[in-house]
Amino acid sequence: MMINSPAIVIHSLRYSEADLIVTLFTKTNGLQTYIQKGVLKSKRGKIRASFFQPLTILEIEASHRNKGTLERIKDARVLSHYASLHTDVIKSALVFFISDILKSSIQEEEANLDLFEYLQTTILWLDTHDTIGNFHIAFLTKLTQYLGFYPDDSNLNDDCFNMQEGIFQSEDTNIYCVSGNHISKFKEFLGTTFEGSMNIRLSKNTRSEILTMLLVYFELHLHGFKKPKSLSVLNEIFT
């Protein structure tokens, strides 16, 4: 079966001297993994190794034989040529962080149009904006909505956030209940627009505390989720 679909590059891994194993989140078929033979040494081929930088948005034509082996991409082209995403140091750090998050978060080999459109929209937004200090906080918070564990915001007047249940409550009931100034600031991200969240004023320490809390929240609600290896780099930049 041949598929034609927009696709977002999640991860690529060198395999042998000239091959790449690439993981893409496709619009039509969800998460898919392909092997591209010889792409690292090919100088004239239609498909370039540079196409598979993290979060590149492609249009692909691929053969799906569904025989339990890695599939092949027959043709690919870049849909969106970024202005700054892979050249700006801060944005590059965010790109690797986001791709690490998505690698641990997306597992379904089926279409999720809402999630795809969210990722495409936010990636393009990051490429074209400069006020991005809260981007990773806003991105993760909104991502929970598409992954099925967005916090219940019906009791925002309560001070304690129960990460295990994803609710706000008046007192601690388990070891995953957290409170403090960072939770008060986190509430501001709930229900606001993505652009509006960039105007939320956070100290470096508070931003770090919210990020740490969100990663624990992801660990609690996603089987197999691992804290990104790129977290230390991101913390150096934003904290």
Look up the CATH number of the domain holding residue 117.
Answer: 1.20.1440.120
Residue 191 located in a structural domain: yes
**Which of 78, 110, 137 is at the close of a domain?**
78
Q: Helices marked H in the chain — which ranges?
A: 89-105, 113-128, 135-147, 181-187, 194-197, 204-221, 231-238
Tell me, yes or no, whether 73 and 145 share the same domain.
no
Q: Identify whether residues 64 and 153 lie together within a single domain.
A: no
Q: How far apart (Å, rounded) are the C-alpha atoms in residues 91 and 122?
A: 12
Taking the C-alpha atoms of residue 197 and residue 216, their distance in angstroms, rounded to an integer, is 21
Contact 176, 163 (CB under 8 A): yes
Distance of CA 82 to the CA centre of its chain: 17
pTM of the model: 0.93
Same domain (yes/no): 139, 187: yes
Shortest CA distance to 23 belongs to which of 66, 58, 48? 58
Total count of domains within the chain: 2
Q: Which of 78, 107, 131 is the last residue of a domain?
A: 78
Do 139 and 37 belong to one domain? no
Contacts of 5 (CB under 8 A, 6+ apart): 26, 27, 28, 29, 59, 60, 62
Q: What is the dihedral of CA 232, 97, 40, 45, to 10 degrees?
A: -160
Residue 126 lies in a domain: yes
Per the domain annotation, does 83 fall within a domain?
no
The bridge status of strand 177-178 relative to strand 19-26 is unpaired
Output the tens digit of pLDDT for each of the chain's 239 residues. 888 999 999 999 988 888 899 999 999 999 999 998 888 887 767 888 889 999 999 999 998 876 667 888 999 999 999 999 999 999 999 999 999 999 999 988 889 999 999 999 999 999 999 999 999 999 999 999 999 999 999 999 999 999 999 999 999 999 999 999 999 999 999 988 999 999 999 999 999 999 999 999 999 999 999 888 878 777 777 75
Same domain, 153 and 208: yes
Tell me: do 37 and 134 sit in the same domain: no
d(CA 211, CA 231): 10
Distance CA 215, CA 228 (A): 9
Closest by CA to 80, choosing from 123, 40, 50, 47, is 123
Contacts of 135 (CB under 8 A, 6+ apart): 94, 126, 198
Residue ending a domain, choose from 49, 78, 107: 78
User: Is 206 domain-assigned?
Assistant: yes
In a domain, 183, yes or no: yes
Q: Are residues 102 and 127 both part of a single domain?
A: yes
CB 199, CB 86: distance < 8 Å: no
- For residue 52, the enclosing domain spans 2-78
Do 65 and 135 lie in one domain? The reply is no
CATH number for the domain spanning 11: value is: 2.40.50.140
* Calpha distance 75→46 (Å, rounded): 7
At 231 the pLDDT is 80
Based on the domain organization, do 101 and 166 belong to the same domain?
A: yes
Res 179: pLDDT: 97
Angle at 229 between CA 71 and CA 152, to 5 degrees: 90
How distant, in Å, are the alpha carbons of 35, 53, 78 from that of 56? 17, 6, 7
Q: Is residue 165 part of a domain?
A: yes
- 84 inside domain: no
